Amino acid sequence: MGIVLFDNRFRGNLLPFTYTKAVASLRYGIFSVQERWAMISDQPVYIHTSGYLQKRYTPIPAETHTWVDASLILDNDLIDQILSLQTGDCLADEKGLIAGVFSFPVEGFDNQHSISAFTHIRDYPCVERLEHPWEIMLQNDRFLRDDFFLVQKKGISAPIPETVSAIQPEHIFIEPGARLNYCILNASTGPIYIGKDAEVMEGSSIRGPFALGTKSVVKMNSRIYGATTLGPFCIGGGEIKNSVLMGYSNKGHDGYLGDSVIGEWCNFGAGATCSNIKNTAGEVKIWDIGANNYASVGKKCGMIMGDYSRLAINSSVNTGSMIGVCCNVFGVGLLPTIVQNFSWGTEGTTYDFQKALRDIQNWKQLKNETLSEPETTMLKYVFANHH
């Protein structure tokens, strides 16, 4: 028996990220959703998603599991309610199944219609879900603080090196193998987490809340403000504020990144900068792919960038930009606020698919990874159906 994290019927609202991954693979705070549930439950955690993505994940054993909506924004009460469910019990609300314990056939599971399989259905009206990609940056402060509490419960921090200037060191957690020298960690504004074998180079200044993933690097003299997450195998440099890089992505040079969410395997050319506030200080609207319309995101929003996309050197990204999957973005002046999947430049040219695969493979080799067959199949599907 384990946890199965399923995508609900609103997964399209989280595009462009859910073109290429399950909701349970989204990273915010310190962890991915799957990693978070593994820490919370101490159980095996599996993923159930759209058919064209399913082979990217470990097969789900045919047995009784606790099925949990992967988009849930967790609190202690909800966690306790879910983990106390017995076989045949479920929690539900007007949007469908929240969580339930049952032995479902994997291919036949549907979070809306599977509710009828349960013998005891409890209404839970106060649940929050992650419903749009920009909510990741809007709520990352909260996610980082909650995850830091989990980390502190599970382990003991490595000592802070003598050359590091640390403010409120009790709110700093350093994993084994991390390297930090002659940098400033200010945890008075929120906790700071430094992952296993990560590095913060000399001269960097970091204000919490902040998370640096496994084997990630903050380059020399960087300035990072909360609430920022650099996932595993990322490079961060220049000035970053209230942004999430989910993993394997690089912003290694000067330039500003603020109030943004960046997928995996993305790269920022030197000097690439985004605007996160309009010159009028007015309301920012961003293209909502799932709704096929613009949505208001408040006063500040930089960009949302899907997996495998890249910005050329000195790119000027406009306020509230939506960049799709596998885009090679370059252009003169302020770039357009909508860049479709598999764009080559910003003038409507499509990225040749075979070249796109070769380029992804090149980037992966830089981090000693390779493009897998399930990834290739997934990218073929997205190219054929969503560009």
Which tens digits make up the pLDDT trace of 246-282? 999 999 999 999 999 999 999 999 999 999 999 999 9
Residues 85 and 148 in one domain: no
Domain span at 98: 3-129
Kindly state whether residues 189 and 275 are assigned to the same domain. yes
Q: Does residue 61 lie in a domain region?
A: yes
Same domain, 140 and 124: no
Mean pLDDT of 105-110: 77
Q: Scan for tokens 């096929």, then name that residue.
A: 292
The answer, yes or no, to whether the previous bond of 105 is cis (omega within 30 of 0) is: no
287/322 same-domain check = yes
Residue ending a domain, choose from 129, 155, 189: 129
Is residue 348 assigned to a domain? Answer: no
Same domain, 287 and 167: yes
Residues 120 and 141 occupy one common structural domain: no
Q: Which of 295, 14, 292 is nearest to 133 (CA)?
A: 14
Residue type, 81: Q
What is the pLDDT averaged over residues 366-385?
Answer: 97
Residue 80 sits in the same domain as residue 154: no
Torsion angles phi and psi, residue 370, rounded to 5: -130, 155
The CATH number given to whatever domain includes residue 229 is: 2.160.10.10
Residues 113 and 174 reside in one and the same domain: no
| Angle, CA 155 vertex, CA 153 and CA 158 arms, to 5° | 135
Q: What's the mean pLDDT in 361-378?
A: 97
Domain limit, last residue, from 273, 304, 326: 326
pLDDT at 106 exceeding the cut of 90: no
- Contact predicate 157/193, CB 8 Å: no
Q: How high is the pLDDT of residue 387?
A: 82
How many folded domains does the chain comprise?
2
**249 assigned to some structural domain:** yes
Q: Are residues 56 and 175 in the same domain?
A: no
Structure confidence at residue 231 (pLDDT): 98
Q: What is the DSSP letter of 101?
A: E
The residue type at 149: F
**Residue that terminates a domain, selected from 75, 110, 129:** 129
One domain, residues 118 and 261: no
Q: What is the mean pLDDT of residues 194-223?
A: 98
Residue 314 lies in a domain: yes
- The pLDDT of residue 126 is 82
Q: Is residue 316 part of a domain?
A: yes
d(CA 35, CA 43): 11
Structure confidence at residue 114 (pLDDT) = 82
**One domain, residues 179 and 317:** yes
The answer to whether residue 341 is domain-embedded is no
